[in-house]
Each structure stands twice: as structure tokens, then as C-alpha cells.
């Protein structure tokens, strides 16, 4: 039989009752004064068995009431603890929220410096990483547009004193050339704004924050050679399958001009400066990551479109179906890439226009052409940063975009050029630059779709 708490309670009361009876009968095992002090028997006078029963019943009722009260308190405490735990586990919201509950991301280790290297996907925020590492902890950051407005207007801004205090709190330092270097979490916010606009980041390229000008990364140079071993026979030699590639930060510059009147009078100058510069830089970085540059190519990242060892589908011509995308997907599958890893098609909007106008091919039927299921499910990102030669010939890329790494230094430098433009046309120039690079860790993860006639 299972012994419950009630069994133990009645057992203890029964023992106490027996001892009390013995005390009344003149054979005390415990002094009667002790029972009287507990309220179990009167301190003086006589008591019969009926009185003892009544006393014991009252004590049992009082014990039950006490037990129920304590159980209710425990239930309330448990409910409160669970509610606090649930609230603590909810994800934070907002740019200035605590990011301790942010999604985890991959971390590598720099072989030279032994420092951790963060690997961020499009959904991860560099500013959150900077905050967790201790930069400007607990400081509410102004928007990058507000900082830009303060730098442009200087002492002419109505809130210039507050802006100056914010620059100091954000560790925005000036350099001898008249520029301002923005670092830490605020630079992370700026870089996150650029990444949000970048097509390559949305496609799946991973971001590597760089602590120095160079960072060496391992890359795959060939799939490993596999063999079956014969007992006591030498193992066959296999060519190396890994190599090294180095991220070397290169400088991307954005130069824009605005009139003095516009800078002083526009209510939306903060949003305008931030939006224009961020979008221009994102498009320039995308363009270089896809195409590279023809002028001084060593001073810019190399483009995926000319990556040595990539897969290709050439001579496509004017498409009448989605077969060229199917061919590209096959090339990746033939290199043992799972279908689920084949990422977005990145191409110029001119290709979207061409494919959107295709019909079924049945005479008199103007129904738009339907893509095969796998091609239809493939994300398609259209950007003017993708190749379009002479307005007639496009090139697309499909890939496992996670094998494209976007390295970026954790600071942004801003120059306000007053003297260069003020004297001639009363304009203010803003020069912002960042240091970035791209590397591909596996050439076979990329396939270019080339020579597509779109006009």
C-alpha cells in the first residue's frame, strides 16, 4: 500500500493522542505541561476522552487549513516563476534592444591572431555582434542619417550641441584630413543598412567582419579522391583538396553633393542622406562582387562572373523557355550539390522582362509560359548591378551563395567637403567610404548563364 501524507498526519496525531491519554492517566511519558503548551490538553483541571477527541479534531482541522494555505502559496509562486521565465525567453525587438537572445551564428577562429571570426547570414546583424562584444554597451544610438546631418551642418544645426555630445558618446573620431571615422556598433548599424540593400547578401552570401586589413580563409580546390583499400597495399596518393584565399579589404567610395540651402532647410535631410548613400554603396558593392571592375581591377574585389573554375552554360541566345536555368542547375547537381543548396538566380531586370513576356508557344494562346516546378521555386533577384552588355545581352548566376564571403572592416569614414564646392556653387560634398572584399570558397558552387539575348 502506498503511504500518503494524510496517512503520516493521522499517524502522528494518533501517537500524540496516546501520549496525552497516558499523561492524563498519571503515567506521563512527556510532561503534561508540554501538551498544555501545545494546546492539546488543558493546563489544569480534568479532561475526559470526549474532550481529547474534540481537541485532536480541532488540531487536525487547523493542520489541514495550514497545509492548504501553504500549497496555495506554492502554486502562486510556481506560476510567477514560469511567467518570468517565459518573458525572459521572448526575442527582443528594436534596434536598441538587448540582443542577448539574438539568433546564434557560426564562429571561426583566425589562425594568425587566434581571435574569433564572426560569420553572419543576411538575417544576422553586425551591430548586435558589436553590442555583445562590449562596444557602446547600454548607449542608445542615433540613426546614421542623424550623424550625417550633424557632420554636414556642424554648428549651423539647431541641435548641434546635442549632436556633438552624441558624436562623443559614439566615439566618432576626427582625422587630420578632416574626416570622421565611425566605429563600433554605430558603424555596424551603417553596414547592416548597406547589407540589407545588397542583392548578394539577400541571395545568401555570408558576411565576415574583419578586424584587420587581411584575413586568410580556407577554400576547396577540388573534391577529395575516394578509394577502397586493399589489405597490405599502399594508399593511393590524392591531390590536395584545400587551399587558402585571402580577404584583402579594398576601398569603396561614395561621393554625393547637395546645396547648402537644401542641407539647412529640408525636413527629411537625415533620411535622404542615409537612403541615397546606403543604396548607392550597396549597388556599387553588388556590381563589383558580380562583375569586378575593368579599371584598376587589382584595387577592387574580383567578380563571380569571371571566377576561374566556375560552372558555365554558354551560347544561350534568345530564350524560348526556362531550359537554360535547368541546364545551369544540372551543372551544379553534377558537382554533387544538393538541390536544396541551389540558391537564387541573380540577373539584370532585362532578363525578367524577357522571360515574363514568354507565352506557351501554342498558336493563338497568350498564356504566360510556366516554369518547371524546381525553377519556379528558385528565388530570383533582379538588379541593375548584374551584367547587361549593350542593352541586349545579359548574364545570370545561380549558386550556393553561402560559399561567397563578403569581408568588411568594422568602420566607416565620412568626409564633409565644404571648401571644394562652396566657393563655386554653394554646395556641400559628402564623401563616405568603407573597406570590403569578396572571396569564393568553392568555385564549383557557382554557375554563370551566359550570352542571353534579351532584346
**Closest residue by Cα to residue 325 from 354, 291, 360, 304:** 354
221-235, 300-314, 391-405, 427-441: the lowest-pLDDT one: 221-235
Report pLDDT for 58: 77
- pLDDT of 22 > 80? The answer is no
Residue 87: CB atoms within 10 Å: 8
Torsion over CA: 179, 184, 190, 194 (sign): positive
What are the tens digits of pLDDT across the range 140-191?
A: 566 667 777 777 766 666 666 766 666 665 556 676 666 677 776 777 888 8
Task: Write down the pTM of the prediction.
Answer: 0.68
pLDDT (mean) for 421-435: 76
Q: CATH for 311-401+445-453?
A: 3.30.2320.10
What tens digit of pLDDT does each residue of 331-369 get? 999 999 999 999 999 999 999 999 999 998 787 888 999
Beta strands in 371-426 (DSSP E): 380-382, 388-389, 393-399, 404-409, 411-417
| Weakest mean pLDDT among 75-89, 204-218, 275-289 | 75-89
- Grid look-up 481537541 returns 55
Instruction: Report which listed range, 67-81, 93-107, 272-286, is most confident.
Output: 272-286
Burial class (CB in 10 A: 0-12, 13-18, 19+), 235: exposed
Place 91 in a pLDDT band, splitting at 50, 70 and 90.
very low
Nearest by Cα to 170 from 132, 138, 209, 195: 138
Give CA–CA dist 242/233, Å, rounded: 26
pLDDT-derived band at 436 (thresholds 50, 70, 90) equals: very high
pLDDT of residue 382: 97
Stretch 405-421: mean pLDDT, rounded?
Answer: 80
In the chain, where the domains are located: 1-64, 108-220+240-302+412-441, 311-401+445-453
Cβ atoms of 400 and 215 closer than 8 Å: no
- The average pLDDT across 270-283 equals 86
Q: Tell me, what's the pLDDT at 408?
A: 93
**Least confident range of 285-289, 298-302, 336-340:** 298-302
Q: How many residues does the chain have?
A: 455
- Taking residues 114-134, report their average pLDDT: 77
Residues 374-395: what's their mean pLDDT?
Answer: 96
Residue 240 near residue 407 (C-beta atoms within 8 A): no
List of residues 6+ apart from 395 with CB closer than 8 A = 305, 347, 386, 387, 448, 449, 450, 451, 452
Query: Residue 102: its pLDDT value, please?
Result: 44
Rounded to whole angstroms, how far apart are CA atoms 96 and 87? 18
Taking the C-alpha atoms of residue 278 and residue 77, their distance in angstroms, rounded to an integer, is 51
Amino acid at each position: 500500500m502506498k503511504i500518503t501524507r494524510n496517512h503520516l498526519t493521522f499517524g502522528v496525531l494518533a501517537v500524540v493522542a496516546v501520549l496525552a491519554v497516558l499523561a492524563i492517566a498519571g503515567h506521563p511519558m512527556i510532561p503534561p505541561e508540554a501538551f498544555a503548551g501545545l494546546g492539546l490538553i488543558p493546563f489544569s483541571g480534568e479532561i475526559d476522552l470526549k474532550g481529547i477527541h474534540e481537541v485532536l479534531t480541532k488540531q487536525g482541522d487547523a493542520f489541514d487549513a495550514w497545509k492548504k494555505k501553504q500549497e496555495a502559496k506554492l502554486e502562486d509562486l510556481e506560476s510567477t516563476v514560469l511567467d518570468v521565465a517565459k518573458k525572459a525567453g521572448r526575442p527582443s525587438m528594436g534596434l536598441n534592444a538587448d540582443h542577448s537572445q539574438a539568433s546564434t551564428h557560426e564562429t571561426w577562429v583566425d589562425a594568425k591572431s587566434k581571435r574569433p571570426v564572426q560569420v553572419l547570414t543576411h538575417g544576422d546583424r553586425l551591430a548586435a555582434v558589436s553590442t555583445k562584444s562590449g562596444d557602446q554597451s547600454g548607449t542608445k544610438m542615433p540613426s546614421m542619417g542623424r550623424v550625417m546631418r550633424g557632420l554636414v551642418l556642424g554648428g549651423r544645426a539647431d541641435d548641434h550641441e546635442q549632436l556633438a555630445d552624441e558624436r562623443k558618446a559614439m566615439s566618432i573620431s576626427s582625422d587630420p584630413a578632416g574626416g570622421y571615422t565611425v566605429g563600433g556598433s554605430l558603424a555596424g548599424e551603417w553596414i547592416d543598412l548597406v547589407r540589407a540593400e545588397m542583392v548578394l547578401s539577400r541571395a545568401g552570401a555570408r558576411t565576415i567582419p574583419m578586424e584587420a586589413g587581411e584575413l586568410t580563409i580556407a577554400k576547396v580546390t577540388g573534391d577529395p579522391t575516394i578509394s577502397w583499400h586493399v589489405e597490405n597495399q599502399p594508399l593511393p596518393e590524392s591531390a590536395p583538396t584545400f587551399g587558402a584565399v585571402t580577404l584583402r579589404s579594398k576601398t569603396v567610395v561614395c561621393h554625393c553633393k547637395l546645396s547648402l540651402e537644401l542641407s539647412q532647410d529640408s525636413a527629411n535631410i537625415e533620411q535622404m542622406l542615409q537612403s541615397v548613400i546606403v543604396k548607392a554603396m550597396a549597388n556599387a558593392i553588388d556590381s563589383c562582387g558580380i562583375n569586378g571592375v575593368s579599371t584598376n581591377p587589382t584595387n577592387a574585389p574580383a567578380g563571380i562572373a569571371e571566377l576561374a573554375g566556375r560552372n558555365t552554360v554558354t551560347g544561350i541566345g534568345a530564350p524560348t523557355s526556362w531550359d537554360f536555368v535547368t541546364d545551369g542547375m544540372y551543372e551544379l547537381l553534377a558537382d554533387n550539390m544538393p538541390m536544396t543548396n541551389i540558391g537564387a538566380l541573380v540577373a539584370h531586370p532585362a532578363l525578367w522582362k524577357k522571360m515574363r513576356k514568354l507565352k506557351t508557344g501554342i498558336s493563338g494562346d497568350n498564356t504566360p509560359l510556366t516554369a518547371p516546378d524546381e525553377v519556379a521555386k528558385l528565388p530570383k533577384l533582379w538588379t541593375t548591378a548584374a551584367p547587361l552588355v549593350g542593352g541586349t545581352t545579359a548574364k545570370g548566376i545561380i549558386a550556393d551563395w553561402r560559399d561567397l564571403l563578403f569581408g568588411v572592416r568594422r568602420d566607416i569614414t565620412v568626409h564633409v567637403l565644404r571648401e571644394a564646392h562652396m566657393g563655386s556653387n554653394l554646395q556641400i560634398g559628402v564623401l563616405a567610404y568603407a573597406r570590403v572584399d569578396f572571396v569564393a570558397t568553392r568555385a564549383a558552387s557557382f554557375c554563370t548563364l551566359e550570352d542571353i539575348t534579351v532584346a
